[in-house]
Amino acid sequence: MKPSVLLLVLASVLGGCGKGTAPSTNNEPAKIEQPALTMVVGSVASDSGNIYSGEIRARHETQLGFRIGGKIIARLVDAGARVRAGQVLARLDPVDSSLQASSAQAQYQLAAADAERYRELRSKGFVSQSALDAKEAVLKTAAAQAGLTGNQTGYTELRADHAGVIAATMAEVGQVVSAGQPVLLLAQDGEREVAIAIPETEFAGLKIVAPADVTLWSEKSDAVHFKGRLRELSPSADTASRTYAARVALSGSVARAELGMTAQVRFNGHSRNNQFIIPLTAIFQQGDQAAVWVVAADRSVSLHPVNVAAYRDNGAVIASGVTAGERIVGAGVHKLHTGEKIRIIEGEFADGNAE
């Protein structure tokens, strides 16, 4: 056989062997699915209202102060003390008031003696009626001054106008105070309220007498619930916090609503039913456009643009782009690709409400 023919035969045989050893594509290892935390849109109800944290306060809080100035020589109560109506709470140094009262009493006695003498002289015709009238006027003035200084001796004691609890002390023993300067803050017994702050974005949506649910979390295992209504809403915002001070009055028995307790207020019917709140970690930002990863029935993900109505501490309020019942990825959104299949993990996210 010629050498050229032999080479052709060998090449043909080797080529056939090579085709028989090609790897099969059916034995490729399966791609590992990436796990992802997910949530169902609307699983946190958005129509239950806004939640605000506040503090239990008395409906009537009175700043107590002396009606005259002086030096405080005794303060008989501290913050937190329960007092009854008429109880003495503090005292001023009475020396000056006593001296003024003694001086006024002496002037009154002198004026009374002069008036009596002029009455006798007038009855005998020795003085005119106008002279007697002048003495009578001096007597009335002296009597009024004696009565005023006599009352002021009682003003050296600061008494409680109503029963209640001392919420704060604003002066100490030895301090010189002026008339009317606050010394104690008295929280009166009776009605209780929750003091809260309303953000600018929610101010227009709230009206006086709006119904609310109030929860006390003094004991998490035994939460205390009250019904309430919005009694007061400040018309101007605080210059520092840009929030509006508000008071929610509690109804029913308030025996367990102790002053200073933390309370949560949820306004009923104050929400936008077409909005949902989702975790901030679920937002995938593409330039100026926000989006979320929506999980399909086959566990593949696709990016859906959404309209974010507001960003808040407890999440992003979504106005459009997703519907209730859709499952979205709640974390790790920057690691996904369109069409990728994931292994669904039910996530636990902070409770929140669209407002």
Give 236-286 pLDDT, tens digit per residue: 999 888 899 999 999 877 777 888 888 888 886 544 455 678 888 889 988
Phi, psi of 41 (to 5 degrees): -65, 130
Q: Which CATH number fits domain 62-93+162-189: 2.40.50.100, 2.60.40.420, 3.90.79.10, 3.30.70.20?
A: 2.40.50.100
Average pLDDT over residues 205-221: 78
CB 96, CB 222: distance < 8 Å? no
pLDDT at res. 223: 64
Confidence of residue 308 (pLDDT cuts 50, 70, 90): confident
pLDDT at 1 exceeding the cut of 70: no
- Domain parsing of the chain, residue ranges: 34-47+273-346, 51-59+190-267, 62-93+162-189, 94-155
Q: What mean pLDDT comes out for the span 62-74?
A: 94
**pLDDT tops 70 at residue 353:** no
Alpha-carbon distances of 273 from 270, 320, 341, rounded to whole Å = 9, 12, 31
What sign does the CA torsion over 126, 130, 135, 136 have?
positive
Mean pLDDT over all residues of the chain? 82
Residue 45 pLDDT class (50, 70, 90 cuts): very low
Cα 264 to Cα 117, 190, 193, 223, distances in angstroms? 75, 21, 12, 11
Tens of pLDDT along 85-101?
999 999 999 998 888 88
* Topology of the domain comprising 34-47+273-346: 2.40.420
pLDDT of res. 347: 63
Q: Tell whether pTM > 0.85.
A: no
Residue 170 pLDDT grade (very low, low, confident, very high; cuts 50, 70, 90): very high
Per-residue pLDDT, 293: 92
Q: 173-207 pLDDT, tens per residue?
A: 999 999 999 999 999 998 999 999 998 878 887 88
Q: Are strands 342-346 and 34-40 parallel, antiparallel or unpaired?
A: parallel
What's residue 266's pLDDT? Answer: 85
Range 300-324 average pLDDT: 83
How high is the pLDDT of residue 3? 45
Same fold, 34-47+273-346 and 51-59+190-267: no
| Domain 94-155 architecture | Orthogonal Bundle (1.10)
Q: Are 172 and 71 in contact (CB under 8 A)?
A: no
- Beta-sheet strand order (sheet of 157-159): 157-159, 88-92, 70-75, 176-177
Can you name the CATH fold of 51-59+190-267?
A: Elongation Factor Tu (Ef-tu); domain 3 (2.40.30)
